[in-house]
Amino acid sequence: MRDSPAHGSSGTRHFQPVARWLTVASLVLILYGSLFPFRFAELGESSFFELLTSLRFQRTSRADLVANLLLYMPLGLCLLMSWPSRWGALPRLSWTVLVGTMLSCAIEMLQVHAASRVSSLTDVVVNVSGTLAGASIALIYLEIGSTIRIPGIAPGRPEPVPLGILLLWLAFRLAPFVPALDWQKFKEALKPIFLEPRFGLLDTYRYMIGWLVVGYAVRCLWRREYAMHAFLAIVLIVLFGRIVVVGKVLVAPEILALVISIPLAAVMVALTDQRRAGLLALLLASVIVLQGLKPFELLAQPHSFSWMPFMNSLSDSLEVNYSILLEKCFWYFSLVWLLTRQGTGILLATGLTTLLVALIEMAQLWLPERSAEITDPMLAFGAGIIVALLSRPSTLRPAAPR
């Protein structure tokens, strides 16, 4: 795959400064997530070669496999876009995979001395696969608009922020992405719809707003005559995916939410882009508040507040927690973006989102079965930084109708 001189190289140069900052952030997240809680035994006098050859293939859980893939994919994506634009696709891909391999090997050798970690070559293979997957996605994205054409997409590449919102929604709804070709699995996935339907008001509302935001993101990426087809394709991917992906089922609140959201989205098209974005931001903020304040009961004494980022996410069920993190990233990322589309400056949009999430975390000090920590405000603040880095000035204000 080779960049065209006029399109691919200029596109790479446009993303290079952003990609380099995001590469650093990815490295920090990988080191933090892989070495937490940072308790090491004596390193001893083992040589690099002895540590490397001590690694063996180990059985690992599905949750660990998916978590490692998700952790290294952003590194591969950002690192590939960081290399000089004059390099061809193959050198950039090779260097990206090499860096990912070296980083993974170094971390696994450090984990030999971490009592709470298990070092293995299996993790190295999965991490390298995640790096390769992320780099491949970056190459495909850079080719969109030149050698790769997507029907209905506005000229050039799709805007990265609404595209990222769609990918976060798909990741939240479909993780761990592992299909199961098992008739019993299909029946179990359909049972909550036909045999045991349960309609929760808050869940229905949450899915409805989520799908409305997805519809708006689709409308920002595709031209009007293609937008509905693209939205329906995403709906089918999610519904079919939840039937075949292990651990996923169809849920009645989401089906009801889709039935409600499609006519609502058609009505909202009549609004100006700015008013639509503002209304969606308000509705989305209400979802964040309602989700954060469940179960709407107060304790007599507050919990403690954790200043250690991702403390609970790294110590409980990993498969449940990365799905929760993906959902939160979708909400916070979308809220900042919608506020900017409504006309709010990026600094104020980031500040408002972070403040809202921080206030919810403070309220969770008095809520049962909730853990108040610094993680969510950090995610909201990080979402604002990423929106600012990825958005061109023209996309931080309402778009003209197409």
pLDDT digits (tens, 9 = 90+) for 327-372: 999 999 999 999 999 999 999 999 999 999 999 999 999 999 888 9
**357 and 245 inside one domain:** yes
Q: Identify whether 132 is part of a domain.
A: yes
**Nearest to residue 262, comparing CAs of 223, 228, 238?**
228
CA distance 249 to 244: 8
Of 95, 112, 143, which closes a domain?
143
Least confident piece of the model among 109-113, 128-132, 341-345, 351-355 = 109-113
Q: Identify whether 353 is part of a domain.
A: yes
Domain total in the chain:
2
Q: Which range of residues forms the domain containing residue 343?
A: 160-396
**87 and 221 inside one domain:** no
> In sequence order, which residues have a C-beta less than 8 Å from that of residue 299 and are 6 or more positions away?
366, 367, 368
Residue 313, pLDDT above cutoff 60:
yes
The answer to pTM > 0.85 is: yes
CA distances from 174 to 77, 138, 236, 266 (A): 20, 21, 12, 26
Give 117 or 321, the one with higher predicted confidence: 321
In 181-317, which residue ranges form alpha helices assigned H by DSSP?
183-194, 201-221, 224-244, 252-268, 273-293
**324 and 191 inside one domain:** yes
Q: Identify whether 226 is part of a domain.
A: yes
Q: Identify whether 260 is part of a domain.
A: yes
| pLDDT class of 8 with cuts at 50, 70, 90 | very low
pLDDT recorded at residue 355 = 98
* Token representation of residue 353: 């989102």
CA distance 297 to 63: 32
Contact between 165 and 179 (Cβ < 8 Å): no
**131 and 183 inside one domain:** no
**201 and 58 inside one domain:** no
CA distance 54 to 36: 22
**175 and 132 inside one domain:** no
Q: Identify whether 148 is part of a domain.
A: no
pLDDT recorded at residue 1 = 37
pLDDT in tens, 240-250: 999 999 989 99
Give 243 or 319, the one with higher predicted confidence: 243
Give 264 or 318, the one with higher predicted confidence: 264
| pLDDT class of 201 with cuts at 50, 70, 90 | very high
Q: Identify whether 402 is part of a domain.
A: no
**188 and 318 inside one domain:** yes
**44 and 106 inside one domain:** yes
Residue type, 118: V
What value does the mean pLDDT take over residues 13-40?
85
Contact between 285 and 356 (Cβ < 8 Å): yes
Q: Identify whether 204 is part of a domain.
A: yes
**273 and 367 inside one domain:** yes
Q: How many other β-carbons are positioned within 10 Å of the β-carbon of residue 384?
A: 26
**29 and 103 inside one domain:** yes
Contact between 186 and 244 (Cβ < 8 Å): yes
Of 118, 143, 168, which closes a domain?
143
